């Protein structure tokens, strides 16, 4: 019986090699540029005047916020494309597991209730009730209070998670490992929110507010690390923002 010829070996498809991600300093630099597009630069005239004027018109305000967030995100897209990586792969964006999303929402909700419950019962100023009632007293309707901030509620989590726990995380992790990525991105995220805890006129630091942002950054970083991608932290971030906006309206109504 003639010998059977061996079957030809089938080579597996080669895995495409990726260029080295941006280094730590370059990643921080791109994140800073992205931040300044939608942050401090808008506080200078005439851009600040344009922002203030847009608050009187819903469509103008929405268009302006969307334009700012898009411009900020384009910086990250450009940086990723310069390295010739697929955007979703570089930012670690993949379909999350349902249990991870549920965990993220539960953790963010628990943190929101804990911090605001403490401030409400200890100082009578939790859940944003004081600022919301001041807005109502000035003549703003509850619907306008919610509708006027919708672009920030939806766009900010997408842009910020893509920037810090996507783009920046990739650059730091590739050079220094996951622990450093977790810590450095949390620090940068907290620092980027300095207008909320540093008085612009005299430089006074409100350490309680600083602590709230630091803990929030650590929670979102932990969710990103645990799930392996930014989808869970993005959903949790968006849920937290929506909760902050909706809670005072619901509490006051009921």
CB atoms within 10 A of CB 177: 10
Rounded to 5 degrees, φ, ψ at 20 are -60, 135
**Rounded Cα distance, 173 and 168, in Å:** 8
Q: pLDDT tens string for the chain (254 positions)?
A: 444 544 444 444 444 688 999 999 999 999 999 998 887 666 655 666 666 666 667 777 778 778 888 999 999 999 999 999 999 999 999 999 999 999 999 999 999 999 999 999 888 889 999 989 998 998 888 888 888 777 778 889 999 999 999 999 999 999 999 999 999 999 999 999 998 899 988 989 999 999 999 999 999 999 999 999 999 999 999 999 999 999 999 999 88
**DSSP β-bridge partners for residue 198:** 205
198 φ, ψ to 5°?
Answer: -120, 125
How many CB atoms within 10 Å of residue 78?
12
Give the span between the Cα atoms of 249 and 145, in whole angstroms. 9
Residues in contact with 32: Cβ distance below 8 Å, sequence separation at least 6, in sequence order: none
Q: Are 148 and 55 in contact (CB under 8 A)?
A: yes
Under DSSP, the state recorded for 210 is H
pLDDT for res 37? 86
Q: Does the predicted TM-score (pTM) go above 0.85? A: yes
Which helix or strand (DSSP H or E) is residue 154 part of?
Answer: helix 150-160
Domains in the chain: boundaries: 24-253
What local confidence, expressed as pLDDT, does residue 9 receive? 45
């Amino acid at each position: 019986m003639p010998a059977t010829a061996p079957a030809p070996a089938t080579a597996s498809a080669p895995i495409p090699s990726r260029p080295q991600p941006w280094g730590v300093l370059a990643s921080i630099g791109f994140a800073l540029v992205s931040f300044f597009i939608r942050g401090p630069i808008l506080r200078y005239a005439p851009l600040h005047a344009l922002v203030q004027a847009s608050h009187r018109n819903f469509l103008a305000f929405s268009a302006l916020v969307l334009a700012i967030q898009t411009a900020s995100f384009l910086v990250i897209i450009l940086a990723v494309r310069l390295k010739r990586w697929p955007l979703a792969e570089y930012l670690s964006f993949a379909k999350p597991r349902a249990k991870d999303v549920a965990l993220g929402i539960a953790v963010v909700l628990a943190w929101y209730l804990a911090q605001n419950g403490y401030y409400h019962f200890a100082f009578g100023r939790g859940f944003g009730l004081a600022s919301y009632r001041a807005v109502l007293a000035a003549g703003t309707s509850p619907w306008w209070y919610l509708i006027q901030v919708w672009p920030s509620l939806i766009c900010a989590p997408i842009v910020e998670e893509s920037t810090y726990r996507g783009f920046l995380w990739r650059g730091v992790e590739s050079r220094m490992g996951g622990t450093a990525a977790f810590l450095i991105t949390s620090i940068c995220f907290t620092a980027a929110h300095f207008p909320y805890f540093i008085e612009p006129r005299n430089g006074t630091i409100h350490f309680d507010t600083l602590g709230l942002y630091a803990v929030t950054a650590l929670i979102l970083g932990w969710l990103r690390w645990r799930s392996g991608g930014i989808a869970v932290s993005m959903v949790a971030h968006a849920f937290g923002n929506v909760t902050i906006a909706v809670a005072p309206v619901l509490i006051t109504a009921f």
